[in-house]
A and B are shown apart, each in its own frame.
Chain A
Amino acid sequence: MTAPHRVSVTVNGKTYEREVEPRMTLADFLRQELRLTGTHVGCEHGVCGACTILKDGSAVRACLMLAVQADGTSLTTIESLADGDRLHPIQQAFIEEHGLQCGFCTPGFLMTTLELLRNNPDPSDEEIKDALGGNLCRCTGYQSIIQSVRLAAGKMREGNAGASQQSA
């Protein structure tokens, strides 16, 4: 039961094969095994949301999953958002609206925002708050985060509009 398991996990498009102890959390797997340290651990019991990543497109808490549960899945982490020094519109928006201070909770917020805006490109403030209600921030008091998400939504809509114009 405690013998190492072989897992095959695709993260940000790259597939990794590793042997892990069954009890290793997915957060620890990402950070320690794969050295993808952008995903942060704030509470290890699923409340703060700092460890939020996307599993097959849906936001999950990496601290509440075991690495073995991610076998065969496709994960998206914060490391996938920027392309070198070209930041994702969500990242640009958070910078422009001062949506972060210490930045520790930020990757979790960005991944949750990514899921929100993919499903709802024009969310109301209430919808933004509902989506982000599971992410704690101790620094900002959330006001600039809401402004950041609004701006991000606008940037992404513009970006998509531009893209569809190009392909038309």
Chain B
Amino acid sequence: MAIEIPKSLDELPTTSPRFVGKDVKRIEDPKLVTGRTEFIDNLVLPEMLHCAVLRSPHPHAHVVNIDTSAAEQLPGVVAVLTGADVKRWANPVTTAPEGWGSYCMAVDKTRFVGEPVAAVAADSRYIAEDACELIDLEYELLPVVVDPRVAMEADSPCLFEEQQGNVMLHRTFNWDDVDEVFEEAEHVFTEKFRWNRVGANPTETFGCVCQWDVLEHSLTCHGAYQTPGFMALGRAGSLNLPSNKVNVISYPQGGGFGGKGGPRGTDIAALLSRKAGGRPVKYIEDRMEYLLAGGGQSWDRYYEASVAVQVNGTVTGFKVKLLDDQGAGAEGYGTISVAKPLAAFTGCYRIQAARYELDVVATNRAPSYPYRGYGPPPHNLVLESMMDIAARGLGLDAAEIRRRNYIQPEEFPYTIPSGNEYDSGNYEAALDKVMEMADYHGLREEQAAAREQGRLVGIGLVNTIEPGVFDWNAYASVGVQGVGVPEGVRVGIDILGQVTVRVGFNLQGQGQYTLAAQLLADYFGVEMESVRVVYADTDNAPPHFGPGGSRLGVAMTGAILGACRKIEEKFCQVAAVLMQVEPGQIELMDGHLRVKGTPEAQMPIAQVAGTMLARGDLLPPGLEPNAETTSVWTAADRTEPDEEGRCKSYLTAANACHLVLVEIDRDTGKTEILKYFIADDCGTRLNPATVEGMIQGGVAQGVGAALLEEYVYNEDGQPLVSTFMDYLIPTIHEVPMTEKAALVTPSPFTPLGAKGCGEGAIHATPAAVMCAINDALAPLGVRANETPGSPNRLWKLIQGAAAAAASATT
């Protein structure tokens, strides 16, 4: 029988929610602010060893010989792992598309600087690192390819010999009559963009403690795992273990953002444990390892884009050609990041015809891993930049061209050309709100006055769609086989009426445990302190995926409310017997089961629970004395993509409008963000403070991508970024304080009308900042089409423009 999950806050069995929808303080926080939360590096197990990894200094080479004898002799060293061990015991990871994965350690060849080539387990990390220095490797260098344009050519050095060349994926999607639309257009604008490699960089790097059971042939992995069930399944595959013999115990993570790697480090630690006779092995990746070869690199792209526009500003067509440099393999599911833009390909606009031509290529750089947003942030930069370019070409204001192209509120649910369905939204309201907050016309006047003085002041006004809640079908169009993403919880009420919920994921910073407590406290009319949220490892957890793709708030809410409904139904049956009425006459309200229409006839939940668990004799026949239930939620109506990749891939479409004022210093090329305004609509806000945190955090990462962060490789494939002195994470000085307004267009499809919001502003901020920079540079006739818009790049553009202007007048 289908369970009806409440679609809005007023459908909750409470007169007025005390917790859901409010800025409640987080239950995670007391332990976090006292430093008592147990992150993985706190874990110490008896007999535990420490792992250090030796990494390849070459971007492409055969491993000819490895001599570990000196390392093995070092006092304190217990086990040394080489490619030979790995080949014997493990498999390359499965990838999508198939055949682009590697073993956790280089077996016959290494494909990127930083790739593990050996590993040591010793009494301390210090000794393990000493031992690594004693390992002798002989390499036969191979030709290197770091430019994806070169890697695509037939005669390019080939990274994966079993493949024909380095092109992992080539596909063109055509939606509607694109060629015809472009031929008939009154104007066509084309531009090229370069988005340089950036990545997650959570403050805590990846870490794990793995223990191989040599008798039972099973594995336990403790670690900073974002998606425990998925990780367990992957380890069963890579380490040749039955899928029910891998237990993953996730620890609270110091941030994740998708890019925390894990597979290689876990497999290495697990195999070292196996080699060390089953002693637990701890591996804590250090920051340099993370930057070189951890899960920290994503989105390395060359774009060419065109828009077809009518004179009145209507955009009729959008074409994107993408060359994506995945690095040395598809192990990090970076291929998904080229498919996800299908979920919001045409943004907030009513563009009917579109084309997406993809080339996903392997090069001798580190393999690409997921990063918050997972593909749309660069795509959105391109789309919003093209809107501005069209506006400028037509003499239209940036706000005006957008206004003329928005999908209208009455058109929802709206299916975009690439097939995804947007649930709801009001884009014009967001635009109006942000323009009002910023006094847009006042800012344009300020800009005009500044321009008179020769100052480079720019305004960026951009939109974004933030797809949320993906499912098994979302990436089938790029060969990712459906791995279901159900989210399950187990909710129970004990004999004294206290509530416990077991979830399959651990803390990552999004406040999900607080949300769980809010929901249960309001549903059962108890205090938040009466609710206990417990993490269950993969041996004990219901089916789950965990955080990712802005899904967990919605998915967990659905699972919890489903469980609540099931318990409510049972309690109503019990209360009916106790109060001697029909079950249909009982309702739950404000923590009491009561007879409809007779509010005095009521029993508190605790009483019903207690009776249920203590007095089996009083229960209706066939009713189990069990006040605990499991509930698993998935999105409805997900379908297989058609031949053009169209499907309902993401359930929700949050949206935002960002407005930013910048000034570029002519002498230094440095961009200062002067003002920043955001109107954000993610449907019902289950905890507004959490939502604002997601937005502001996304702004920070977006500013980093737009102005500061870049992984640089030289032409020999050597990474030039290995510390935070090279990779510049925004500090408190670089991130603007933003003024935020909330709009609420609930989703008609989700529990409580909430939409995914966790990926936040990273979808919009890079576009906002780069569009503002280009607005500032417009009078000079130059464009900044490469991210980050670093001082060096912008200074060169400004100097180049000045030189061109000077020579034009001579």
Contacts and interface: CB of A to CB of B under 8 A. Distances in A.
A38 B126 contact: no
B126 A21 contact: yes
24 contacts: A37-B38, A37-B39, A37-B42, A38-B36, A40-B35, A47-B724, A47-B725, A48-B287, A87-B34, A95-B26, A95-B33, A98-B23, A102-B509, A103-B29, A103-B32, A107-B35, A133-B731, A137-B700, A138-B201, A138-B203, A138-B701, A139-B697, A140-B696, A145-B732
Interface string A101-117: 11111110010000000
* 8 closest cross-chain pairs (CB), A and B: A38-B35, A104-B254, A103-B32, A102-B509, A101-B509, A141-B696, A141-B700, A47-B724
Contacts of B696: 140-144
B517 to A, nearest CB: 15
A86 to B, nearest CB: 11
Nearest to A145: B732
B41 A37 contact: yes
Interface string B53-82: 000000000000000000000000000000
Contact of A40 (B30, B204, B701, B725): B204
B33 A106 contact: yes
A77 B37 CA distance: 15
B293 interface: no
A79 B35 contact: yes
Interface stretch (B488-496, B616-624, B733-741, B784-792): B733-741
Q: Report whether over half of chain B's contact residues are helix, strand or loop; otherwise say mixed.
A: loop
Contacts of A104: 39, 202-204, 254-255
Contact of B724 (A38, A41, A48, A98): A48
B735 A141 contact: yes
Interface of A: 21, 23-24, 31, 37-45, 47-48, 50, 77-79, 81-82, 85, 87, 91, 94-96, 98, 100-107, 110, 129, 132-146
A101 B511 contact: yes
Contacts of B732: 129, 132-133, 135, 137, 142, 145-146
Contact of B735 (A87, A96, A100, A142): A142
A133 B41 CA distance: 26
B550 to A, nearest CB: 15
B569 to A, nearest CB: 36
Given A95-B29, A95-B33, A144 B693 contact: yes
A140 B287 contact: no
B203 A136 contact: yes
Interface of B: 23, 25-26, 28-30, 32-39, 41-42, 126, 200-205, 252-257, 286-288, 507-511, 689-690, 692-693, 696-701, 723-725, 729, 731-733, 735, 737-738
B698 to A, nearest CB: 8
Nearest to A84: B34
Name the residue in B28, B34, B205 with the highest tally of chain A Cβ atoms < 10 Å from its Cβ. Answer: B34
B201 to A, nearest CB: 6
A41 to B, nearest CB: 7
Contacts of A43: 287, 723-724
Contacts of A106: 32-33, 35
Given A38-B34, A42-B287, A47-B725, A139 B204 contact: no
Given A138-B203, A139-B509, A141-B699, A44 B33 contact: no
B286 A140 contact: no
Contacts of A94: 29, 33
A139 B692 CA distance: 11
Contacts of A103: 28-29, 32-33, 37, 252, 254, 509
A24 B29 CA distance: 31
A44 B729 contact: no
A21 B126 CA distance: 10
A31 B255 contact: no
A129 B33 contact: no
B49 to A, nearest CB: 14
Nearest to B699: A141
Contacts of B729: 47-48, 136, 138
Given A44-B287, A47-B724, A106-B32, A98 B689 contact: yes
Given A42-B204, A44-B287, A138-B255, 17 more contacts: A21-B126, A24-B126, A37-B39, A42-B287, A43-B723, A91-B34, A98-B692, A102-B509, A103-B254, A104-B254, A104-B255, A105-B203, A134-B731, A137-B700, A138-B697, A141-B700, A141-B738
A110 B29 CA distance: 13
Contact of A141 (B29, B36, B697): B697
Contact of B202 (A39, A102, A145): A102
B83 to A, nearest CB: 27
Contacts of A21: 126
A120 B126 CA distance: 40
A44 B30 CA distance: 26
Name the residue in A104, A107, A146 with the highest tally of chain B Cβ atoms < 10 Å from its Cβ. Answer: A104
Nearest to A101: B509
Name the residue in B257, B507, B731 with the highest tally of chain A Cβ atoms < 10 Å from its Cβ. Answer: B731
A77 B35 CA distance: 10
Contacts of A132: 732
